[in-house]
């Protein structure tokens, strides 16, 4: 075998190695994207869970939500708690929308969050204005974001009632 033949074999082997490396990298990138999607979905869910866990762990916050549900007037301290809860809600939904924009969650996940937001706004009527106070400046600056559409839809005339089974 002369040097030209050795060089030709080396080029073929080099080309094969490049394709094997590209295949390996494609698999690695696919796995990294899947991991990022999983992590993003879990991080977004954790924001929602943390907000509601705070309600479960705090009788005072549970009382604030109960008042928001029945449209009772809140004391200044309760109003601050309600505003903090609205900010947590804003952060969670905004992060979910950012995750969709980054391709980290599928559209149906964001749509399920949007449905959840509509339910929260029905159950806790006072939340609508508190969230609008936070969202309106962003909407004015950046345009309407679809996640916030339920916030701008007409609120139902009555609040939801619960049966004994609830």
**Res 143: pLDDT:** 77
Tell me, yes or no, whether 100 lies in a domain: yes
Closest CA to 99 of 37, 56, 152: 37
Rounded distance, CA 149 to CA 118, Å? 9
Closest CA to 88 of 114, 110, 59, 55: 55
Is this prediction's pTM over 0.85? no
Rounded distance, CA 144 to CA 161, Å? 31
Tell me, yes or no, whether 24 lies in a domain: no
Say how many domains are in the chain: 1
Tell me, yes or no, whether 31 lies in a domain: no
Tell me which long-range contacts 45-50 makes (C-beta under 8 A, separation of at least 24).
47/88, 47/91, 47/92, 47/95, 48/92, 48/116, 50/88
**Res 156: pLDDT:** 56
What tokens appear for 84 in the block?
Answer: 């903090």
Tell me, yes or no, whether 65 lies in a domain: yes
Tell me, yes or no, whether 58 lies in a domain: yes
Q: Which residue range is the domain that position 52 belongs to?
A: 36-152
Tell me, yes or no, whether 16 lies in a domain: no
**Res 44: pLDDT:** 75
Residues of the chain predicted below pLDDT 50: 158-166
Tell me, yes or no, whether 51 lies in a domain: yes
pLDDT tens, residue by residue, 74-117: 999 999 999 998 988 888 888 888 888 888 888 888 888 888 88
Tokens 């706004």 belong to 121
Looking at the chain, list the stretches that DSSP marks H as alpha helix, in order from N- to C-terminal side: 3-57, 59-70, 76-101, 107-123, 125-142, 149-152
Please tell me whether residue 16 adopts helix, strand or coil conformation. helix
Tell me, yes or no, whether 2 lies in a domain: no
**Res 30: pLDDT:** 87
């Amino acid at each position: 075998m002369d040097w030209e033949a050795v060089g030709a074999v080396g080029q073929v082997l080099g080309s094969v190695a490049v394709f094997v490396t590209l295949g390996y990298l494609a698999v690695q990138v696919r796995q990294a994207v899947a991991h990022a999607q999983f992590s993003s979905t879990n991080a977004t869910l954790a924001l929602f869970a943390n907000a509601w866990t705070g309600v479960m762990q705090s009788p005072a916050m549970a009382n604030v939500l109960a008042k928001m549900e029945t449209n009772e007037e809140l004391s200044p301290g309760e109003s601050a708690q309600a505003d903090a809860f609205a900010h947590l809600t804003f952060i969670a939904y905004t992060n979910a929308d950012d995750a969709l924009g980054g391709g980290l969650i599928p559209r149906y996940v964001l749509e399920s969050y949007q449905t959840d937001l509509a339910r929260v706004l029905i159950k806790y009527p006072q939340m609508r204005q508190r969230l609008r106070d936070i969202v309106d400046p962003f909407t004015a600056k950046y345009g309407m974001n679809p996640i916030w559409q339920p916030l701008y839809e007409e609120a139902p005339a009555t609040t939801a009632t619960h049966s004994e089974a609830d």
